[in-house]
A = this chain, B = another copy of it.
């Protein structure tokens, strides 16, 4: 990539990160281009769709997913506490930008989505948690990581769009956890 192209690319991603943080994922691309000091055509050359830009912004965030999963898996306490803690972390992970939960969760399982690699990372994280709990026979064996990602993502989507406080989200995650855990 030519030096000026690389510079523009980086500028756009950095500006987008800021604007998305303030206004959410449906912010104006025109405004991002203006703030980044490039023409709208330049933004479109690098990122043909909004999701391509979102994918680039998400890049730096992938490592955090791995770390968060590691920590959740090392959680003290029983399977219920482990699962609940993971759900809360998962909601936090996909809720960093307004509109994120809906965007990520609806792309989950869509192989053609520009953000599919990010979805795959999240699905794999859920799979790791499920595997550990399956080994303890603590969780239903017929439930898939895709289903879990969709259900927790559904709660996160509602919470994001209704701007719910954490205190209102927690009981819903508890119901989900109880539905997934095997009866003692």
**Chain A count of residues within 8 A CB distance of the other chain:** 30
Q: A13 to B107, alpha carbons, bound, how many Å?
A: 33
- Most interface-central of A108, A151, A154, A174 (chain B CB within 10 A): A154
Number of copies: 2
| A contact patch SS | helix
Are A153's CB and B147's CB within 8 A? no
Are B161's CB and A102's CB within 8 A? yes
A161-B102, A179-B178 known; A172-B147 Cβ under 8 A: yes
A100-117: CB near B (< 8 Å → 1, else 0) gives 001001111110000000
Are A150's CB and B143's CB within 8 A? no
Residues of B within 8 A of A157 (CB): 102, 154, 157-158
Smallest CB gap from A108: residue in B: B162
A interface list, Cβ under 8 A from B: 102, 105-110, 140, 142-143, 147, 150-151, 153-155, 157-158, 161-162, 171-172, 174-180, 183
